Structures are given as structure tokens and as C-alpha cells.
Structure 1
Amino acid sequence: MRPQYFKHRAVFDFNRDTNDIGFPLPWKKGNEDNHFLFRLYRKNKEQYELFYQHQLSFFLSCYNDATEQEFFIHLKQIITDTISELVNRNRYTSKHAQERKNRMQLQEFLDYLNSIDQWFIQSTDQETIKRQLEEIAKLNSENKKLKEENKKLRELETKDYIDIREGKQRTLYHLMLQIRELKLDDSKELANATTLNIWSKMIAKYFRVGGKEISVESVKRYFPPDNDADLAKYKDIPQKDKLFTIIPAKKRSL
């Protein structure tokens, strides 16, 4: 147990928005937790992170062996103990409305602490159930999204294929290579692939030769990725397989 976890307010510091704890006049230092709660009750949800980080930075600067995990455990214990105490208070008192408000705020701050809990500090049964329900809801949402994506993919999938005459696959490659290089009047490509490997993958996926699958590696040998590639690794289409030449159509007058 450390002698001090939270940064104390300086004497005569009357700043109402301070993140330090305590009073601007001398006060008893043995009840830090109560002063932390007093300051917390005057914060809103948007200020929790700054308040937490302010006090954490102070704690880490005080002790050479201090860790955020130690600070986190100490702070969470204060919050959970106080919530438990408020839950068990007599409901039929003049303080009940304020105590209920404090309990709700403590639960809100506890939710913040759980959101940054990277050590999976032991939670109460209520917290555990809540976290599990949130995780289930998140997984259900992700599962629904994956199902929708899978459905779209299945709509495009097919077991059908285009069969090429046996021995004429390189003729198809030659046509694809020509399509790859075609340019429009504005000098832009007719078909601009996001990656040049897609041509090889498309042929291997949707074409067969005599009913037999085509290896993507065998296709890639005819499709160099760019003009700077080591062409020694690639093959030219044999002249005997260049059966068709794609030429631009003559422009027709309107």
C-alpha cells in the first residue's frame, strides 16, 4: 500500500476545475479516497479520461516501481467498494436521491475503467455478465456482417467454366495480353487492373483446357508484371499461337 496515490491540491488553489484532489486549505491526508470521489462527482463523462490520466501521471512519477496496473487496481477497488456501499444504504433517507445519483455516476466511471482495462482485472458478477453480453452482441453483429458478405460472394461464385481447345491456351493468353495493352483515344487503358496478377488468376479460375484446370503458375509465365521486369523469367507467346490480332475499329462519322 502506497502512502499516496493521487495528486493533492496546492494550498490556496481555488480552481474549481482542477484535477487535483483535496481542499485549498489544510486537510487531513488519511482519506484520499473520499477526496478523489468528491472530485469525481464534479466531473462529467467527457472529463473522465483527462482526470484519470492526470492522476495516473502523478502516481507514476512518484515511485520508480509504479505501474499503471497497480494504480488501476487501487482506483477500481475504491469505485467498486463505494458502489457496493451505496447499494446497501438505507433507501428511505433524505440522502437517497443524492446517493442514487452518485451511484449512477460511479457506475458510469466504472464503465470507463472497464473500457481501458487491458489486464482483465477481476470484475463483479454484474460486470462480468454485462461484458459478456456486450461481447456476444459484438460477435453477433460481426457474424451478421460476415454472412451478408458471404452471401454476396456466393452470388458471384460459379462451378461453370470456359473450356479452351486443347493446346490453344496460349492463343487465349495472347488475346488477354493485347486487351491489357489497349488504350482509348485519351491514351488511358481500356482495362486498368488493380494488380497485373489478376489476369493470371482470372484465367486459372474461369478457364479450362480440355476440361482440365490450368495452373496459375503456368499462366503467370506469360504475363510479366511491368516493362521493368526481368523478362528472362517470362515466356513469349509462340508465333504459331498468335492467331488473332485486335485492331482499333475505324471511326465512323456521325
Structure 2
Amino acid sequence: MSVTYFKPRDRFDFSKDSLDIGNPLQWDRSHFLKHFFKRVFTIRDDRIDEFYQRHLAYYLSQHPDGKEQIFFKYFWSLIERQLKVLLGTNVYDEHHLRNEREIVRLQKFTSMLISLDRWNIHKSNDAVIAQQESEIFALKQEVTRLKADLKKATAFETEGYINIPEGYRNTVLHLHLQMQELKTPEGKELMFSQTQSVWMKMICKYFREGDKEINYETIRRYFPSDKREPGDKHADIPAKSKLFTINPAKKRS
């Protein structure tokens, strides 16, 4: 019975950070396991090892012939069994979020116990299966999160694109370069980006020339990272392609 392995809480012990099991007043010892896991799920992470050592010392004090291996095996079986129960719950369970928090806590306990396991008890078939189920659960949670992130990222994706007539790609590039120079009446940049790659990626992703993809490296020379010192590889838009000029609208009275 659990009460012979784990130290019960003393009566009238109202300390908030107690590691002992149970209530400070009268409580039913037949519900020991419920109180045990209530304590497991509430103690701080940095006291997990202390929790183990405290109850091990209690067990050995109550059983002169007892061995740590026996205590460890029983402790491990409790954590392993509850972890398997939680891993088997439906993700649509009304207590799903609480179950996830408790799974993470039990995984921290198993990590601590494995580090203390000199007897390789955790390598039993049931333990290995429980560990694998735990890892599978974590992977499923990660997949769910990644799918949600992907759904958000692709919410505005489209298979369509803006088509430029053959030979007029540079004309469109010139318009984009002009847009970078536009300013608001207050003198602020109308469209600001930290790097030129944003413009190039946007053009390559959403524009086509004669229904053909626009090569990133080909247009790169028109978008220097430093406009003050564009470098030898920079090229200006040819004059014949500068067909349009963007000018501020006249102020309306």
C-alpha cells in the first residue's frame, strides 16, 4: 500500500510547500494515491529530486530491511502507470489542457528517475512502451502545432500570379524601385523594408513574365543592399524600360 512507501502529512501541518502526502486534517488513507498525485502535480520542478529523496528516507526508516531498489520500482510503477493513462486520453477530452500539463510533469519525473536507475528498471518492456507512447504523444502535439502554424502561414497563398508581358519585366521593376522612394506628406517612407530581398522575393513569388517564373538572381542586380554604394554588380534599369513615372498627386483644396 502506498502509505507504507510515502510519508503521510502530519496532522495540523499547514505548510504550503510540504512534500508529504495528504491533508493537514482528517483524510481517508484509502485515497492515498489521489493525494500522492495531487502533490506530484503541484510541487516545483526544482524539488522533484528532493521529493524522491524525502520519501525514500521515510521508506527506509519504516523498513529496516528495505532496499532503495524496491522503493524505486514501486515509485516508478506509479508514475509509469499514470503516464500511460494520461497518454491514452482523447485529445478532445474536456480536461485536455490539464492532461497535457500533467503529462509534461510526469515526463520530468521519469527523467529524474531514469537518472537514478542503477537497476535498469526503466528498461522493462512496459517502461519502454510507456516511453515510446510518451514520445509519440509529444510528436503528435508537435504535428498539431505545426499544422496550425502552416494553416496560418498559407491562409493567403494563391496559385495565381500577376503576369507581365514579355519584355516588360524591367518596367515593373522600375515601378517597384520608384515606390521605395515615395514619402508621406510628413516626410516618412511610404513603404519601408529592412532589406531589398523582401521586394525581390515578392516579385518572384507573385509575378511572371510571359507566364514564366522570374529568376531571383537575374533581378538581384537592380536591387542593391546599399543604394549609396551599390557596388560593381549593380545595374540601373535601362532607359527604354522606364516607361512610367510615379509622381505625388496635386494637393486638393
| TM-score (norm: length of structure 2) | 0.55
- CA separation in 2, counterparts of 1:140 and 1:85? 25
Task: Tell me the SS of whatever aligns to 1:232.
Answer: coil
1:14 equivalent in structure 2: none
Q: Which runs of 5+ in 2 are unaligned?
A: 1-16, 18-38, 51-67, 79-104
Tell me which residue corresponds to 1:80.
72
The Cα shift of 1:246 comes to 0.8
> Alpha-carbon deviations, 1:154-192, whole Å to 9, x = none?
442222222212111111111000111211122222112
Q: Could you list the runs of 5+ residues in structure 1 that have no partner in the other structure?
A: 1-16, 18-42, 54-75, 87-108
Matched, 1:217 2:213: no
Contact 1:171/1:243 (<8 A) preserved: yes
1:110 Cα deviation after fit: 8.1
Per the alignment, residue 11 of structure 2 pairs with none
Aligned equivalents of 1:188, 1:213: Cα separation in 2:
33
- Paired AA for residue 163 in structure 1: N
For residues 50-84 of structure 1, the C-alpha deviation after alignment (integer angstroms, 9 at most, x for no partner) is: 5849xxxxxxxxxxxxxxxxxxxxxx857524548
- Selected match of 2:46 from 39, 46, 49: 49
Q: Which residue of 2 aligns with 1:178?
A: 178
Shift of 1:153: 3.8
Secondary structure of the 1:221 match is helix
Distance 1:250 1:237 in 2: 27
Tell me the distance in 1 between the aligned counterparts of 2:228 and 2:71. Answer: 65
CA distance in 2, matches of 1:85, 1:215: 61
Corresponding position of 2:202 = 202
| Residues 21-100 of structure 1: pairs in structure 2 closer than 5 A | 46=43, 49=46, 52=49, 77=69, 79-81=71-73, 83=75
CA distance in 1, matches of 2:248, 2:211: 33
> How far apart are 1:221 and its partner, in Å?
0.9
Q: Pick closer, same or farther for the CA change 1:164–1:136 going to 2, 3 Å.
A: same
Identical counterparts, % of pairs: 41
Moved more, 210-219 or 137-146: 137-146
Counterpart-to-counterpart distance in 2, 1:84 and 1:142: 26
Aligned to 2:54: none
Q: Which amino acid aligns with 1:130?
A: A
Structure 2 residue aligned with 1:189? 189
Q: Give yes or no for the alignment of 1:157 onto 2:154.
A: no
2:127 counterpart of 1:142: no
Distance 1:156 1:77, change over 3 A: farther
What amino acid is aligned across from residue 162 of structure 1 in structure 2?
A: I
Specify whether residues 185 and 127 from structure 1 end up closer, same or farther in structure 2 by C-alpha distance, changes over 3 A only: farther
Asked if 2 retains the 8 angstrom alpha-carbon contact of 1:171 and 1:241, the reply is yes
Q: Secondary structure at the match of 2:222?
A: coil
2:110 corresponds to:
114
1:187 maps to amino acid? G
| Count of residue pairs the alignment pairs up | 175
Provide closer, same or farther for how the CA distance between residues 110 and 127 of structure 1 changes in structure 2, counting only shifts above 3 A.
Answer: farther
Deviation of 1:247 (Å): 0.9
Greater CA deviation, 167-176 or 132-141?
A: 132-141
Bigger-Rg structure (1/2): 1
Runs ≥4 residues deviating over 6 A: 117-121
Q: Which residue type is aligned with residue 111 of structure 2?
A: S
- Counterparts of 1:85 and 1:225 in 2: how far apart (Å)? 61
Change (3 A) 1:137 1:81: closer
Name the TM-score, length of structure 1 as normaliser.
0.54
Question: C-alpha offsets along residues 137-167 of structure 1, whole Å, 9 cap, x if unaligned?
Answer: 2222211122223333444222222221211
